Amino acid sequence: MFFALFLVIAIILIMITMITFIMRLGYVAAVVVDVLIIGGFSIYYAHHQWFVHIASGNAVYFWDLILFIVIFVLYSTILVIGTNKFPRIAAIFHYIIAWFATLFIYVFINLVMFNGMGSLLNHSTMNEVVHFIIISLLAFIIFNARMRIFKTVR
């Protein structure tokens, strides 16, 4: 019991350290992480559904690169304009992004360390609730860092 609690606290501290390091890199790192995820899914879909039909050979990868650049420019532009023009909507968006990023990292660390979600409590439903509470609290820290980053970029 004590070891599990110690391990969870260590995982949380590792997550906070990793995320604050990335956030210290500033606006570019915050946008790049988002674009890598959004662009990765978009390119995966477009590569198999569109680009293999309009190009052949290595030209398919050229269109992948073009799509990634377009996504990066559009996402970063919309993010900065949205944060400046619609701060309340942008705050909700930033919290959602922070929550999903925290969820991804938290689940990844738990899968690596425990081969599944770590057992904090004996009751499975309450165990999931505690995991979601931890994720939400960590997401709030990341949300505050994101808001600081995007308020300085005006």
pLDDT surpassing 70 at residue 16: yes
Does residue 57 lie within any of the structural domains? yes
Alpha-carbon distance 32 to 133, whole Å?
27
Number of neighbours of residue 43 by Cβ within 10 angstroms: 18
pLDDT surpassing 80 at residue 5: no
SS3 (DSSP) at 57: coil
- If pLDDT is split at 50, 70 and 90, which confidence band does 41 have? confident
Are 75 and 93 within one domain? no
The arithmetic mean of pLDDT across residues 38-46, rounded, is 82
Number of neighbours of residue 12 by Cβ within 10 angstroms: 15
Does residue 21 lie within any of the structural domains? no
Instruction: Say if residue 83 is exposed, middle or buried (CB neighbours under 10 Å; 0-12, 13-18, 19+).
Output: buried
Q: Which amino acid is at 113?
A: M
Phi/psi at 123 (5° precision): -85, 125
Domain end call among 85, 101, 125: 85
Are 145 and 124 within one domain? yes
pLDDT surpassing 80 at residue 152: no
Does residue 72 lie within any of the structural domains? yes
For helices 124-152 and 2-24, the axis angle rounded to 10 degrees is 20
Does residue 152 lie within any of the structural domains? yes
- 0.75 cut: is pTM over it? no
Q: How many domains does the chain have?
A: 2
SS3 content of the chain, % helix, strand, coil (to 5): 90, 0, 10
Does residue 17 lie within any of the structural domains? no
Are 68 and 118 within one domain? no
Does residue 19 lie within any of the structural domains? no
Q: Domain limits at 109? A: 87-154
